[in-house]
Structure 1
């Protein structure tokens, strides 16, 4: 006779909101037995083997269970497994910084003579590292406007090894069509890496759209409390395995205590991301209504050039907004000086609302050199990262800044009357 399937056999996969909370959750269900509810933290860099064969086995096959922390660590491994689950990936790796994740991943797949096509407006220091590889390691790089797939297709060559994307991009919030660009790159045998720091797995699962590797600065939304420096990659097991070998050689392993803090931070990731997105959407519309704002980018605003793509590949708009004023950098300085409590800070994605003026920091002209024209950033661009404070308080402080700028900048119709 027919048997009734057990509840476990017909249960759907665990939701990301559940996976973010439970360090032991897997597709097979929780392990049974006496264990800690929170992830354990092992404050040691090395482990003793019971005998020589056992230690050799840990070295060769199970370094994450305990051999030497540069090779792997059980607390770090729990965080990696959680990121892999959130991304829907075969495996994931953690690094001591976002740039550690980016540089190690690039070193793992690129060789002299390889060609890279990259979006022209990615993170400034990623550009610098690609240009370093071009100058010192014989890797050829073309930067193109990847919002136009035709430019990507025209740049791909028979020796193209990698298409490198960042969406939403830092700081301009360009939106790139991951699915169509990945299809194009794969048709020519190229890998696709996507830096998804501004989105992350609760908003955008790049692997499900076809990308080979999702990269992010885990210091940002994943950790979420401005107390962890970390980077993460997620992808297929074979590719991540190659990157793991390079991580052992170059050494940017994550500190176990940072991994433990990251695990704790990820438990509130779904709640934080949802709250940040809701407030960011409201603030973006507040900015859009100001006559002083000349440039505004938020993925879920219909005025964004990539709005249709963003609605298709992102579950939420995220917590990042960029904007600029008529009046340029001087108007931006007036805006910043009028704020009562929103701090100037160089990072993003945490519980704190912060803002940065990129042209004076990461994207200073001397930093990006010949690539400056590619960004086409308006003078005084503000990168605003929304936190989890009261929406009313955030909007009031933003309005203080807007009032200060609007007081010295005439309305657009007045400029038109004067020929401005």
Structure 2
């Protein structure tokens, strides 16, 4: 990072970090749409391929636009290094393939994105990695699950979709005792609201598809942490190719410029909607850490700058009632994505967590009457009117 940015605030880093202007003196960051690079000599080519000389080699793993995004997200997370991937799941895949081998053991929270659970329980185990699923907030369960072969602990906080909050300091201490890596999916908060590395995490993963973009335009992911831990992930990506495209990297880098402003607005809107739903008799329970009666409220206040834009709630009734609510709204988009400027609504039990077995859903609290809302940037007055349409359909 440039010396004059070392003590810069997050808003400045989000706009200025990673910029390397070319000979044209361009002000807006360019997109380098090239697959390969020309070397001045055979010796230079050999040195770059060997990693003995700085410069680009091949856009599967070195590209100036992708590097801009990597440098910027690393700066925002307070990290030494970052590597960009083709999706959020590719970030998780690459982290596991770089740091695990057959015979290792993983402890994963039950309260994660459904596809993350599928990855660990159906694919990692296929390659000889044992996986234990534990309740996110039960520290004793995490401790009891540790074995001499535990090499990685994985979690989201707040969790998807019940917004549970993990004690990152306590889990970090446990991971260090177990000689294990603590990997945190920071998708819901982003570094604008939470920096897990400062709380003891070893690596942070992102689905850049969500809030880092902010407008639902592109797929992408990132792995962020120390150079020592990120370099093996880069080595895997160099070989296997789950790479972020230059165009997507440019979109994400520009999205980061407004990240804090958007996250504050998302959080403000989500709190208003959560408070409204919590007071409605048609609603069984609201899950949002911004509510004072949420079990993780005080912990979230310590770990996060705000409570984020995702909330969920259970309507009184069954799946049919939840579907009636979802089908009745008009402003909210029925789509599984989150982190968009547009508010989205989804039924987790049949979409984002639909591939889980019934017992897995039950253990994770994914009931048929649960609805998840990623609150966007529309007027909260209009969003509450939309909630009224859903409530009237119950």
The CA deviation string for residues 53-87 of structure 1, in whole angstroms up to 9 with x for no partner, is 11222223379832211121110001000000000
Match of 1:408 in 2: none
Q: Are 1:256 and 2:271 counterparts? A: no
Q: Does the C-alpha gap of structure 1 residues 63 and 300 become closer, same or farther in structure 2, counting only changes over 3 Å?
A: farther
Number of residue pairs aligned between Structure 1 and Structure 2 = 393
In the TM superposition, what are the counterparts of 1:386-397 in structure 2 within 5 Å? 386-397=375-386
Match of 1:265 in 2: 255
C-alpha separation between the residues in 2 aligned to 1:272 and 1:372? 31
Q: Does the C-alpha gap of structure 1 residues 117 and 64 become closer, same or farther in structure 2, counting only changes over 3 Å?
A: farther
Q: Does the C-alpha gap of structure 1 residues 127 and 11 become closer, same or farther in structure 2, counting only changes over 3 Å?
A: closer
C-alpha separation between the residues in 1 aligned to 2:311 and 2:172? 26
Q: Are 1:19 and 2:9 counterparts? A: no
Runs of 4+ in 1 over 4 A off after TM superposition: 8-12, 30-34
User: 106, 118, 132: which is aligned to 2:96?
Assistant: 106
Q: Are 1:375 and 2:369 counterparts? A: no
C-alpha separation between the residues in 2 aligned to 1:95 and 1:262? 12
Contact in 2 for aligned 1:117/1:156 (Cα 8 Å): yes
Match of 1:59 in 2: 49
CA deviation after TM superposition for structure 1 residue 215, in Å: 0.7
Match of 2:389 in 1: 400
Please give the secondary structure, in 1, of the residue aligned with 2:165: coil
CA deviation after TM superposition for structure 1 residue 328, in Å: 2.3
The CA deviation string for residues 168-226 of structure 1, in whole angstroms up to 9 with x for no partner, is 11122221111111111111211100111111110110100000001110000001111
CA deviation after TM superposition for structure 1 residue 376, in Å: 2.1
Match of 1:177 in 2: 167
Taking structure 2 as the reference length, the TM-score comes to 0.95
Contact in 2 for aligned 1:64/1:74 (Cα 8 Å): no
C-alpha separation between the residues in 2 aligned to 1:289 and 1:31? 53
Contact in 1 for aligned 2:106/2:129 (Cα 8 Å): yes
C-alpha separation between the residues in 2 aligned to 1:214 and 1:155? 22
Contact in 1 for aligned 2:332/2:344 (Cα 8 Å): yes
Contact in 2 for aligned 1:64/1:77 (Cα 8 Å): no
Please give the secondary structure, in 2, of the residue aligned with 1:194: strand
Q: Does the C-alpha gap of structure 1 residues 158 and 24 become closer, same or farther in structure 2, counting only changes over 3 Å?
A: closer
In the TM superposition, what are the counterparts of 1:257-336 in structure 2 within 5 Å? 257-336=247-326
Match of 2:73 in 1: 83
Contact in 2 for aligned 1:202/1:273 (Cα 8 Å): yes
CA RMSD in angstroms comes to 2.1
CA deviation after TM superposition for structure 1 residue 230, in Å: 0.2
Unaligned runs of 5+ in 1: 1-7, 406-420
Contact in 1 for aligned 2:316/2:369 (Cα 8 Å): no
C-alpha separation between the residues in 1 aligned to 2:85 and 2:264? 26
C-alpha separation between the residues in 2 aligned to 1:21 and 1:283? 30
Contact in 1 for aligned 2:273/2:384 (Cα 8 Å): yes
Unaligned runs of 5+ in 2: none
User: 321, 332, 346: which is aligned to 1:342?
Assistant: 332
C-alpha separation between the residues in 2 aligned to 1:10 and 1:131? 46
Task: Pick which of 373-382 and 147-156 moved more.
Answer: 373-382
C-alpha separation between the residues in 2 aligned to 1:244 and 1:373? 37
Match of 2:348 in 1: 358
User: 6, 31, 34: which is aligned to 1:41?
Assistant: 31
Taking structure 1 as the reference length, the TM-score comes to 0.89
Q: Does the C-alpha gap of structure 1 residues 31 and 257 become closer, same or farther in structure 2, counting only changes over 3 Å?
A: closer
Match of 1:414 in 2: none
C-alpha separation between the residues in 2 aligned to 1:157 and 1:123? 25
